[in-house]
Amino acid sequence: MIAIETFGLEAVVKREVQAMGFEDIKVSPGKVEFSAQVEDIPRVNLWLRSADRVLVKVGEFKAVTFEELFEQTKALPWGDWITQDGKFTVNGKAVKSILGSVRACQSIVKKAVVEKMADTYGVEWFEETGPEFTIQVSMLNDIATLTLDTSGSGLNRRGYRKHAGMAPIKETMAAGLVLLSFWNEERLLIDPMCGSGTILIEAALIGRKIAPGLNREFASEDWPAIPRQAWGDARRSAKEAILPEGGLQLFGYDIDPEMVAASKANAKAAGVGGDISFEQKDIKDLWIDAQYGVIISNPPYGYKLGDYKDVNQIYISIHKTFKKKKGWSVYILTADTKFPDYFKRAQPDRTRKLFNGPLEVRYYQYFGERPPRKEK
């Protein structure tokens, strides 16, 4: 299988895949590949938090002529996956390859799969009224990778975000930010510019062990190649894994009352309405009492929302509030490389380059002192 993710989140996805017990993991830009069984497809789709989609790798080979692409695609066991009535589309991409025309590669692959299906099922005409299959041909350095998309709509579409605000981050990215931080379910977490609440909602899902895909469907649910029971089992054990409400310390603020209302509605839709408190507040009025905690936030990017003066004021507020709070870990996602000039508590302990859609952003990480261990 291949988990596809935003550039920069590979290490987090790898950790997630490892935690699910998979081995033989290979990481490349935007991709984490691992060995799994067909029965694992439901579990992986239901549980992966920071990946965008999950593909089955049907085959991989070198191809520098269209004939090679055609013959080797045709040799793959498409009938193991695609049903006789399957509706299938082919998309593609090509980077640094002799076969650089994506459209030509797509149509060659489509033709090869149709021929293979005709041989497999002994028919010439396909109704295409059944389950959907999205094939991708990806050419990279003359190596063709042929995959089937098991997810359908992106895994970021958890189904809870009805109100998104002006510049929301993807749910998968928000989960990645939380998993990259040192937050855990026993620690206080705030997002003082929470927008539609995505970061806190993802933290609540993590804290309560709620599988992020539990309230949605996946393209491969109708594939006969995956035993129905595997879906049933995966959903049942995901439901059993959920921890009861209570005990999380999650707080969200935003200057815009509409965003506060949106966050509340989204959290409720995600089943974590009782785990997070949201309140309208300007960050300049934020008052922190606790000695230890975590802040994860993505401020307006200046040129996208508000103007530079406002953004600078926000940075100044973060500096004022947290400069002496050594027990607080501060995590800020922004496209603005000036942020560390304002937050002068220390140099960032780590800076990770990520992509928020097409926008290059940085995740500035300032680690706080650890809270004393709780007496058992």
Task: Determine, following the binding rule CB under 6 A, whether residue 336 of this chain makes contact with ligand SAM.
Answer: no
Q: What mask of x and - would describe binding to ligand SAM in positions 146 to 185, judged by CB under 6 A?
A: -------------------x-xxx----------------
Please choose, from the candidates 211, 171, 170, 175, the residue with its C-alpha nearest in 3D space to the C-alpha of residue 42.
211
In 29-169, where do the E strands start and end?
31-35, 53-62, 87-95, 132-140, 143-149
DSSP 198-217: HHHHHHHHHHTT--TTTTS-
Cα atoms found within 13 Å of the Cα of residue 173, Cβ hemisphere only:
24
Q: Which of 256, 312, 327, 367 binds ligand SAM (CB under 6 A)?
A: 256
- For the bound state, the minimum distance from the C-beta of residue 285 to ligand SAM, rounded and expressed in Å, comes to 8
CB 125 within 8 A of CB 82: no
CB 211 within 8 A of CB 201: no
CB 366 within 8 A of CB 349: yes
- For the bound state, the minimum distance from the C-beta of residue 343 to ligand SAM, rounded and expressed in Å, comes to 15
Please choose, from the candidates 216, 188, 149, 102, the residue with its C-alpha nearest in 3D space to the C-alpha of residue 4.
149
Q: Which is nearer to ligand SAM, 111 or 163 (CB)?
A: 163
Q: Which is nearer to ligand SAM, 176 or 299 (CB)?
A: 299
- For the bound state, the minimum distance from the C-beta of residue 192 to ligand SAM, rounded and expressed in Å, comes to 6
- In sign, the C-alpha dihedral spanning 22, 23, 24, 28 is positive
Task: Determine, following the binding rule CB under 6 A, whether residue 300 of this chain makes contact with ligand SAM.
Answer: yes
Task: Determine, following the binding rule CB under 6 A, whether residue 196 of this chain makes contact with ligand SAM.
Answer: yes
Site stretch for ligand SAM (CB under 6 A), options 78-86, 137-145, 297-305, 318-326: 297-305
Q: Which is nearer to ligand SAM, 131 or 300 (CB)?
A: 300
- For the bound state, the minimum distance from the C-beta of residue 327 to ligand SAM, rounded and expressed in Å, comes to 22
What count of residues does the chain have? 376
**Which residues contribute to the site for ligand SAM (CB under 6 A)?**
165, 167-169, 192-196, 198-199, 253-256, 259, 282-283, 298-300, 305-306, 314
